[in-house]
Amino acid sequence: MTQDKIDQIIDKFEAKPRALIMILMDIQHHNRWLPKEALERVSERLGVPLAKVQQIAAFYKTFSLVPKGDHELHVCTGTSCHLRGAQKVLDTVYEVAGIRPGETDSESKFSLTAVNCMGACSLGPVMMVDGQYHGRLAPSKTEDVLKNVK
């Protein structure tokens, strides 16, 4: 992400310290993670200490401090999906891609995030792959879904 783009986002919020969270969310949205340089730039432009920017970035779930892989896996670990076997979906992802929630594999193919209820409980357990829902995931089906991601 270029400094120009970061500055654009900061300018959109008039570099107001109050908008710190919104600014970080916008950067996260565009870049899919928050590089150190981006945090430094935000700190500098908003006049907020870097430690505080980092504190916010570490506190909220939305922010990632490491780069994301090419494909984003969102496994629902909401209560309903938990009852219907979300843990097995996570286990299968681990077997196939070797990653746990919050991680990206070494080839940067997959990033895995565990999320709360997606409102698709009737399909549970559910996993979203790049925005596409996959439901009723038995371990073998999870494996098939992952193997079909190009």
Partner 1 sequence: MSEIEKLLNPSDFEAFQKKIVEGRDPNRTAVAVCSGPGCLAYASGKVFDRFKVELLESGLAEEVTLAQTGCHGFCERGPSVVILPDEICYLRVSPDDVKEIIETTLRGGGIVERLLYKGEDGLPVQKESDIPFYKHQQKVVFGDNKRIDPRSIDDYIARGGYTALVKAITTMSPETVIAEVKESGLRGRGGGGFPAGAKWEATAKPPADTRYVIVNADEGDPGAYMDRGILEGNPHSVIEGLMIGGYAIGANEGYIYVRQEYPLAIDNVLYALEVLREIGLLGENILGTGFNFDIIVHKGAGAFVSGESSALMSAIEGRVGEPRPKYIRTSISGLRGKPSCLNNVETWANVPLIINKGADWFKSIGTEGSKGTKIFSLVGNVKNTGLVEVPMGMTLRQIIFDIGGGIRDDKEFKAVQTGGPSGGVIPEDMLDLHVDYDELYAAGSMMGSGGMIVMDKDTCMVNVAKYFLEFLSDESCGKCVPCRDGIDQLLEVLQRLTSGNALEEDLELIEDISLMMKECALCGLGQSAPNPVLSSIKYFKDEYIAHIAEKRCPGGVCKALIAYTIDKEKCIGCGKCMKVCPVAAITGEKKSPHKINNALCVKCDSCYQECPAKVQAVTKIRQADVITAFATSEEAANE
CA distance 125 to 80: 8
Neighbours of 74 (CB within 10 A): 19
Q: Are 82 and 75 in contact (CB under 8 A)?
A: no
Question: Angle, nearest 10°, between helix axes 3-12 and 36-46?
Answer: 40
Closest CA to 65 of 93, 85, 88, 36: 36
CB of 3 to partner 1, least distance (A): 22
Stretch that binds partner 1, among 3-11, 31-39, 64-72, 132-140 (CB under 8 A): 132-140
- Which residue minimizes CB distance to ligand FES? 78
AA letter at 96:
V
CA distance 57 to 59: 6
Interaction of residue 43 with ligand FES, rule CB under 6 A: no
Among 1, 115, 129, 149, binds partner 1 (CB under 8 A): 115
Judged by CB, which is closer to ligand FES: 15, or 121?
121
Among 24, 118, 145, 146, binds ligand FES (CB under 6 A): 118
CB of 101 to ligand FES, least distance (A): 14
Q: List residues binding ligand FES (CB under 6 A).
A: 76, 78-81, 117-121, 124, 126
